[in-house]
Amino acid sequence: MYCDLLSRYFSLKQLMRQTFIARKISFISLIHFRDEYMSPQNNHLQRPPAAVLYADELAKLKQNDNAPCPPGWQLSLPAARAFILGDEAQNISRKVVISPSAVERMLVTLATGRGLMLVGEPGTAKSLLSELLATAISGDAGLTIQGGASTTEDQIKYGWNYALLINHGPSTEALVPAPLYQGMRDGKIVRFEEITRTPLEVQDCLLGMLSDRVMTVPELTGEASQLYAREGFNIIATANTRDRGVNEMSAALKRRFDFETVFPIMDFA
């Protein structure tokens, strides 16, 4: 029974990746998922997402959070900080070793609507940090783009169901949303891993989303041709400083990000 349930989960996960369809998951459903699939008898996931692994802590922080939340955020700034750095008073575990002031700067950057760029040496937990930030802000970190030489614009913005496109022409039903489209539509954080590995023309398609907060769909007409970002949408990108032969970001795109360097751990104490 458990193997069948896990098989269904991975089949659904693969389908979501192929069609770029993601759904909003509440804290309650995350806890249910953890209890259902992450029980000791069925603990076969190699790396559960942070939203599932720390579902209890997220629910506790949200319940005890009395501070005002930035528009579109699940947690306030103090609660998001506690989720990442830990809080002994609330029995919240520390999840990453990093300067508290750096985390505070990152949260303030995202709260003010600026894109966040995490740069540093390989292996400094930039991806983990971006996942924790997205989980604290949006409740999950599933909207992720893995940059690479083969990454195309339709893989980050939107694509088409070609059967519907041929039969009925361009329509919202035929449009297949990619992570960037979903993040703007639902008001969630989008993670862009290894952004400097993507071609320059793909990087430049982010300019309008980061400045005007709008995505144009020229194939559609009327209101559907313009997607305006909802409160809570933002982009967290990562890049390695030691990479060579990658695509340098344009000056225009750099201006739309606040850069934060993640340093290696020199002394745990």
Strand order in the sheet with 234-240: 144-146, 189-193, 234-240, 115-120, 257-262
Phi, psi of 194 (to 5 degrees): 55, 55
For β-strands 158-160 and 214-216, DSSP reports them as unpaired
* Whole-number pLDDT of residue 44: 75
Domain for residue 22, yes or no? no
- For residue 4, being part of any structural domain is answered with no
The region, left, alpha or beta by phi > 0 then psi within -120 to 50, assigned to residue 87 is beta
pLDDT of residue 46: 83
- Domain holding 206: CATH number? 3.40.50.300
Q: How, if at all, do strands 234-240 and 115-120 pair?
A: parallel
Could you tell me how many residues make up the chain? 269
Q: Is residue 17 part of a domain?
A: no
Would residue 40 count as lying in a domain? no
Let me know if residue 19 belongs to a domain: no
pLDDT at 28: 44
7 domain residue, yes or no = no
Separation between Cα atoms, residue 176 and residue 174, nearest integer Å: 6
**Vertex 54: Cα angle to 110 and 83 (nearest 5):** 40
Predicted local confidence at residue 208, as pLDDT:
86
What does the pLDDT profile of the chain (269 residues) look like in tens digits? Answer: 444 544 554 454 454 444 333 333 344 444 444 454 445 444 677 888 999 999 999 999 999 999 999 999 999 999 999 999 999 999 999 999 999 999 999 999 999 999 999 999 998 999 999 999 999 999 999 999 999 989 999 999 999 999 999 998 999 999 999 999 999 999 999 999 999 999 999 998 899 889 999 999 999 999 999 999 999 999 999 999 887 667 788 899 999 999 999 998 765 55
pTM for the whole structure? 0.81
In a domain, 269, yes or no: no
CB neighbour class for 234 (10 Å; exposed up to 12, middle 13-18, buried from 19): buried
pLDDT of residue 126: 94
Give 139's contacts (C-beta < 8 A, 6+ positions apart). 24, 25, 26, 27, 30, 51, 58, 74, 188
Count of domains for the chain: 1
**Whole domain around residue 77: which residue ranges?**
68-262
Nearest 10 degrees: Cα torsion 185, 11, 30, 229: -10
Residue 251 lies in a domain: yes
